[in-house]
Amino acid sequence: MTQDNGPRDDENGTPDEPQDPMKEMLRGFLGDAVDSPEVDEMLRSLGMQGGVPGAAPGQTPGGVPGMPGAGEAGANPFAAMMAGNPAAFGALQAQVQAMFNADDSAVNPDLARDVARRVAVAGGDPSVGETAQRDADQVAQVASLWLDAATEFSALDGRARVVSRSEWVEATLPTWVQVLTPLAEGVNNAVAGSLEGRFGDDPETLESQLPPGMLPPGMDLSAVMGQMTPMLRKMSASMFSVQLGQAAGALSREVVSGTDVGLPLVEGEEVLMVPANVREFADGLEIDPAEVMLYLTVRESARQRLFAGAPWVRSQVIEAVRAYAADMRLDTDSIESKVASVDPTDPEAMQSALGDGLFHPEPSEAQRQALARLETWLALIEGWVDVVTDRATASTLPHAQALAETVRRRRATQGPAEKTFSGLVGLELRPRRMRDAANLFAAMEDRHGAAARDAVWDHPDIAPDAAALDDVLGYVEAWGRNEPGEATGTDFDAELEALLRDAQGQAEDSDGSSGSGESEGPGESGEDPGRT
Per-residue model confidence as pLDDT tens digits over 445-476:
999 999 999 999 999 999 999 999 999 999 99
**Alpha helices by DSSP H, 355-491:** 365-393, 400-412, 416-425, 434-448, 450-455, 466-470, 472-482
In this structure, the chain runs to a length of 532
Q: Is the dihedral of CA 159, 163, 167, 170 positive or negative?
A: positive
Per-residue pLDDT averaged across 422-447, rounded? 84
Q: What is the CA radius of gyration of the chain?
A: 31
**Which amino acid does the sequence have at 428?**
E
Top pLDDT among 210 and 275 is at 275
What 3-state class would DSSP assign to 381?
helix
Q: What is the mean pLDDT of the chain?
A: 73
Question: In the predicted model, is pLDDT for residue 504 greater than 70?
Answer: no
Per-residue model confidence as pLDDT tens digits over 306-354:
999 999 999 999 888 888 777 766 666 666 666 566 565 565 565 565 5
Question: In the predicted model, is pLDDT for residue 16 greater than 90?
Answer: no
Contact yes or no for 141/209 (Cβ under 8 A): no
3-state helix vs strand vs coil in the chain, percent to 5: 60, 0, 35
User: Quick one: which H or E segment has residue 207?
Assistant: helix 203-209
Question: In the predicted model, is pLDDT for residue 82 greater than 50?
Answer: no
Residue 359 has phi, psi (to 5 degrees) of -100, 135
Give the C-alpha distances (Å, rounded to integers) separating 324 from 109, 244, 428: 21, 16, 11
Cα angle for residues 26, 53, 215 (degrees, 5° grid): 25
CB neighbours of residue 242 within 10 Å: 22
- Interatomic CA distance for residues 183 and 112, integer angstroms: 15
* Best-predicted range by mean pLDDT (67-71, 178-182, 524-528): 178-182
Q: Hey, which residues does 161 pair with through a beta bridge? A: 272
What 3-state class would DSSP assign to 39?
helix
- Interatomic CA distance for residues 336 and 123, integer angstroms: 36
**Which amino acid does the sequence have at 309?**
G
Question: In the predicted model, is pLDDT for residue 1 greater than 70?
Answer: no
What 3-state class would DSSP assign to 161?
strand
Give me the helix-helix angle, 289-309 and 130-148, nearest 10°: 60
Q: Give the side-chain half-sphere CA count within 13 A for 47.
A: 8
- Binned at pLDDT 50, 70 and 90, residue 14 comes out as very low
- Binned at pLDDT 50, 70 and 90, residue 56 comes out as very low
Give the C-alpha distances (Å, rounded to integers) separating 33 from 23, 28, 72, 75: 11, 10, 9, 11
